[in-house]
Chains A and B, each alone.
Chain A
Amino acid sequence: MSLLSDLFAGKVLDPGYAEAAARREAAGEREPRRGRFRHGGVLLVLIVVGLLIAVAVAEVRRSEPVAQQQRSRLIGEIRTRTAESDELQRRLDRLRADTERQRVAALARSEAGRRARADLTAAGAAAAAVPVEGTALVVTLADAEPQDGGRRRADAGRVYDQDLQVLVNALWAAGARAIGINGQRLTPTTAIRTAGEAILVDYRPLTGPYEVTALGDRDRIEGALRRSAAGRRLQALEDRFGVRYGTRRTDEARLPAAGALQLRHARPRGEGGRGEGARGEGPRGEGTRRP
């Protein structure tokens, strides 16, 4: 505590000089001793102090660019990797197109091959493995406006996964070639379900309004939908709960291929023999048609 009390008392905190002066006074010297080097010590000390300060400044300025460098190196690495994966994706696309061309060429040689190719094209379209475009019917479902709050239950006017499921199944039944929800392509095995407040389609959350695009013969789809149970159900939802439901036609609809199709039932021919390739345990009980 003597530091603080000395401080408040206004005393000299480092009494070394005062004591030295008092000693000199007692010894009868007037001038402070010059020492051996005549200020050499002071000079030396101050050079060291200046050196220290300069080194510290240089050190601080050096360490800052190091952090900056690391950051920009990481950013550069991310960019490089992204470019690499883009390049790989492009290569994959090229190879896929190449494979497709060669398959077409190989299958076109024989009658059986042409039949197989037609099968393959149909299967690819049915499995949503290729992008499609064409005329389409777009069915829009949206949550009810929360206009007369309190009268209805809070979530009565919400679109549920069941509504979308019913609608999608009705559209398949009505003869749609391909279906997408909010631009996401549906495969025959795509799950539509609720998780919390969001509706997941293929495990990716979507938010309303939900636009269900059904490619195919628009008149037929629209008519079949209106007559179906699903159409009546959605109409009832609109009437009773205010769920917004509407259809419109579009000439130019485009749906991408579904992401990451997995081969579940096909096996390479060499491994399991001929019969292994066509095990019928798929959801539709069909399996592949060709061994």
Chain B
Amino acid sequence: MIALIGLVAGVVLGLLFEPTVPLWLQPYLPIAIVAALDAMFGGVRARLEGIFDEKVFVVSFVSNTIIAALIVFLGDQLGVGSQLSTGVVVVLGIRIFSNAAAIRRKLFGA
């Protein structure tokens, strides 16, 4: 419940204030979102399995987004930014899907 409230509050805040993203930060925004989604699904799955831990959740979110952004930043500096973004998205996408599959199994038993 509290999680849903937080999410909605964040969306509302973002839509209300519409903060402008600086140009140098824009390439990292989508990657950061994918990483955040990964952390979120991991948290939901842990919650359903009864092993949720707030510290693990916060740390995994922060480290996920920062590392994903760093990888893309490094790739940009090396000239392989788009390829590394693809790699990050693929890896995180696989994790998101497996977590979503686990959640589905827990919720619907299928």
- Any A CB within 8 A of the CB of B15: yes
Interface size on A, residues (CB 8 A): 35
Type the 1/0 row for A44-63, where 1 means its CB is closer than 8 Å to any CB of B: 11111111111111110000
B32 close to A52 (CB less than 8 A):
yes
Report Cα–Cα, A50/B39, bound state, in Å: 13
Distance of A39 Cα from B47 Cα, bound (Å): 13
- Checking A13, A45, A55 against B21 with a beta-carbon cut-off of 8 angstroms, the contacting residue is A55
Residues in B with CB closer than 8 Å to A196 are none
**Pair B49/A17 contact, Cβ less than 8 Å:** yes
Indicate if the CB atoms of A42 and B3 lie closer than 8 Å: yes
| Interface 1/0 per residue, B27-65 and A, CB below 8 Å | 001101100110110110110010111111111111000
Chain B residues positioned under 8 Å from A275 (CB to CB): none
Within 8 A of A (CB), among B1-38: 2-3, 5-15, 18-19, 21, 26, 29-30, 32-33, 36-37
Distance in Å from the Cβ of B44 to the closest Cβ of chain A? Answer: 11
Binds B, one of A30-38, A70-78, A82-90: A30-38
| Proximity bits, A1-22, B CB within 8 Å = 1, else 0 | 0010001000011101110110
Q: Determine whether the beta carbon of B55 is less than 8 Å from that of A50.
A: no
Check if B94 is an interface residue, CB within 8 A of chain A: yes
B51 lies within 8 A of A18 (CB): yes
Q: Does B14 lie within 8 Å of A54, measured CB to CB?
A: yes
Residues of A within 8 A of B62 (CB): 45
- The answer to whether A14 and B60 touch (CB under 8 A), given A43-B5, A47-B6, A54-B13, is yes
Q: Are B53 and A41 in contact, with the CB atoms below 8 A?
A: no
Q: Do A51 and B61 touch (CB < 8 A)?
A: no
CB distance from A268 to the nearest CB of B (A): 57
B contact face: mostly helix, strand, loop, or mixed:
helix
On whether A13 and B95 interact (CB within 8 A), knowing A47-B10, A50-B9, A54-B14, the answer reads yes
**How far, in Å, is B93 (CB) from chain A's closest CB?**
11
Give the shortest distance, in Å, between B81 (CB) and chain A (any CB). Answer: 18
Chain A residues whose CB sits within 8 angstroms of the CB of B52 once the complex forms: 17, 32
A42 to B59, CA, bound (A): 10
10 more CB-based (< 8 A) A-B contacts, given A45-B6, A49-B33:
A3-B94, A7-B94, A16-B59, A17-B45, A17-B51, A20-B56, A33-B54, A45-B57, A53-B10, A58-B15
* A interface with B by C-beta (< 8 Å): 3, 7, 12-14, 16-18, 20-21, 24, 32-35, 39, 41-59
**Please, could you name 22 A-B residue pairs with CB atoms under 8 Å apart, sorted by A?**
A14-B99, A20-B51, A24-B53, A32-B51, A33-B55, A35-B55, A42-B2, A42-B58, A45-B6, A46-B7, A47-B6, A47-B7, A49-B6, A49-B7, A49-B61, A50-B10, A54-B12, A54-B14, A54-B15, A55-B14, A55-B29, A57-B14
Could you tell me which B residues sit within 8 Å of A by CB distance? Answer: 2-3, 5-15, 18-19, 21, 26, 29-30, 32-33, 36-37, 39-40, 42-43, 45-46, 49, 51-62, 91, 94-95, 98-99, 102
